[in-house]
Amino acid sequence: MAPPKDLLSISDIADRLPSLLEEAELLKQTRRTGPKLASLSGQNFAMIFEKASTRTRTSFEVGIHDLGGQAIYLSKSDIQLGRGETIGDTARVLSRYCDGIIYRAFRHADMVELARTASVPVINALDDLEHPCQIVADLLTMKERWPTGFHGKRLAWIGDGNNVLHSLLLGAAAVGLDLTVATPPAYAANPAIVSAAETLAARSGSHLRFLQEPSEAAEGADALYTDVWVSMGEEAETAARTRAFAGYQINAALLRTAASAAFVLHDLPAHRGQEITDEVLDGPQSAAWDQAENRLHAQKAIMMRLFPHAPSV
């Protein structure tokens, strides 16, 4: 089956996750020792970013370079999109120069519009609904630590029902990982995403549970995951969110209630002292730095699958 044109949601690649993870593992093992790869040789990629980024921008740029292609970083404020040129016109023009577009957007509707109007593949580098590339890297991080696979393992999410949780719900449900979610009642996951995840879970045998109490979710879990309380674009809600999430911190006491071999995931950037303590993030059970590295390997695997090879001359 041909790959989907775009990667807007992790559900677009739900059936391909096992093979993508294998490919990413191989790319990781051979990055320094294997032959120079040229999968994206002669190809150019526009990277439109409406928001800040450390990991996503750098790992895509380095990954494209590793595969022999060229990345062109386009901050929204530097291109005409920031002065009112439409998304559709931007997509049509960039499709004439480039072989793919990587887009970090405020609004998922804009992501969908860009993909609809671009004739080249579009990869979602985070929007307000999903962060699919992050979760491919996170699944790789978990796979490395669980040699027997995802089945029978339980991950607990502590915090906001946000973009990262949405992709995690779909990704966990696709690969058969059990996920228990603890969110404050007013910050639960999007019901449409929950319903799509439950459909995937029914196929894979994954169990999804939705709670409010962090200690209940963390108890006996094989891994804990959290993210910021205030995502990019939500800064006006900072005061209300800081109050609502006050009990939703991964700290040493919460971690002690998880399985003894449990590890802790955080997609970063972290707000140290809020959703996670220094002690946990810098401690021996933190997997956050491997997660950050795995963005590179995961995205290279994604690009090798999604972007057609350059025509030979």
Contact residues toward ligand CP (CB under 6 A) are 53-56, 126, 134, 267-269
User: Nearer Cβ to ligand CP, position 4 or 269?
Assistant: 269
**SS3 state at 274:** coil
Number of Cβ within 10 Å of residue 234's Cβ equals 15
54 binds, among ligand NVA, ligand CP, none (CB under 5 to 8 A by kind): ligand CP
Contact stretch for ligand NVA (CB under 6 A) within 113-121, 186-194, 223-231, 282-290: 223-231
Binding ligand NVA (rule: CB under 6 A), the pick from 98, 224, 228, 302 is: 228
- The distance of closest approach from Cβ of residue 127 to ligand NVA in the complex, given in angstroms and rounded to an integer, is 8
170, interface contact from ligand NVA, ligand CP, none, CB < 5-8 Å by kind = none
Query: Which DSSP helix (H) or strand (E) runs through 208?
Result: strand 208-211
Q: Is the sign of the CA dihedral 71, 103, 231, 233 positive or negative?
A: positive
Longest dimension (CA), the chain: 61
Sign of CA dihedral 92, 98, 101, 107: negative
Positions 155 through 214 that interact with ligand NVA (CB under 6 A): 162-164
Closest residue to ligand NVA using C-beta atoms: 231
H-helix or E-strand spanning residue 144: helix 132-145
Closer residue to ligand CP in complex, CB, 115/292? 292
Residue 204 near residue 228, CB atoms below 8 Å: no
Residue 291 touches ligand NVA, criterion: CB under 6 A: no
Instruction: Please say whether the beta carbons of 73 and 57 come within 8 A.
Output: yes
Nearest residue to ligand CP by CB is: 56
Place of tokens 């057609």: 308
- Give the residues lining the site for ligand NVA (CB under 6 A): 126, 162-164, 227-228, 231-232, 267
